[in-house]
Structure 1
Amino acid sequence: MDNVAVVVDDIEAAIAFFTELGMELEGEAQIEGVWADRTVGLDGVRSAIAMMRTPDGHGKLELTKFHTPAAITAGPSAPPPNTLGLHRVMFAVDDIDDTIARLRRHGAELLGEVAQYENTYRLCNLRGPAGIIVALAERIG
């Protein structure tokens, strides 16, 4: 897998959010032209992208802000965790409580609560940029 793309309405806020999670901004670009239209399957594509890289360099998240055509919301703006389709992105963290506190400063909202799975993990789900669900996992065992 090369990357997972997330369409956002505020790319700078999304960059700040994922940087707070420890990701690094690899690069930014403006995307437009016939090749973009053909690739995406839309006419008149003009978008900004930011490629975020995990610290180990193995995972990437592409943040995309569509200027034209404008992004649309399909269904509820904050779909519940049992919605069909791409569900969430999970990040391993060293300190889940500290990470939650830092992400709240970027608008994250905790869904449910932090729960412990056996003696192995502390886990939670947060609502992040553009309403996506971001899961956190802290290994404890």
Structure 2
Amino acid sequence: MVTTLRLDNVGIVVDDIAATTDFFTDLGFQVVGETTVEGPWVDRVAGLGHVRCRVVMLRTPDGHGQLELNQYETPVAHTPAPSPPNTVGLHRVALTVDDVDAAVAVARSHGAELLGDVVQYEDSYRLCYLRGPAGIVVMLAEELA
């Protein structure tokens, strides 16, 4: 048996790393590192050839979670059609915020669009799904109690 020690980060391939970084930093994330990776080791680990990829690491305000944004310069990434929230596979990032309405306003200022409505779940949360940069589905949730 193997013991997982932690979830280190979630990687997201984007088409505009600057815009996506701005989106998440305006929602409270902190940039903790930026680099470009390339060379034989990246080609081998990714199973691609001639990789050149810009990387930005973002940390959540509580310091426990990270997003790794990747923008491939080569080979050029393909952009699939946006998929609905019930698509099989990794499809959303969930964030707890202090004010869901304010967070929606920030997200909208970056071109994000609500997929449905802001709703209340029992006496626990106000929440919504929105589509942000690179088609990323983001759930915003405000704890009520």
TM-score by length of 1: 0.96
Q: How far, CA to CA, are the matches of 1:121 and 1:56 in structure 2? A: 19
What is the match of residue 64 of structure 1? 70
What is the match of residue 102 of structure 1? 106
Task: Count residues in correspondence.
Answer: 139
Q: State yes or no: 1:49 paired with 2:55.
A: yes
- Which ranges of structure 2 fall in alignment gaps of 5 or more residues? 1-6
Residue 104 (structure 1) shift: 0.5
Structure 1 stretches of 4+ moved >6 Å? none
Aligned-residue Cα RMSD (Å) equals 0.7
- Which ranges of structure 1 fall in alignment gaps of 5 or more residues? none
Q: State yes or no: 1:125 paired with 2:94.
A: no
What is the match of residue 21 of structure 1? 27
Residue 47 (structure 1) shift: 0.6
Q: How far, CA to CA, are the matches of 2:77 and 2:82 in structure 1? A: 15
The aligned amino acid for 1:45 is V
Q: How far, CA to CA, are the matches of 2:61 and 2:47 in structure 1? A: 32
Q: How far, CA to CA, are the matches of 1:56 and 1:123 in structure 2? A: 20
Residue 2 (structure 1) shift: 0.4
TM-score by length of 2: 0.94
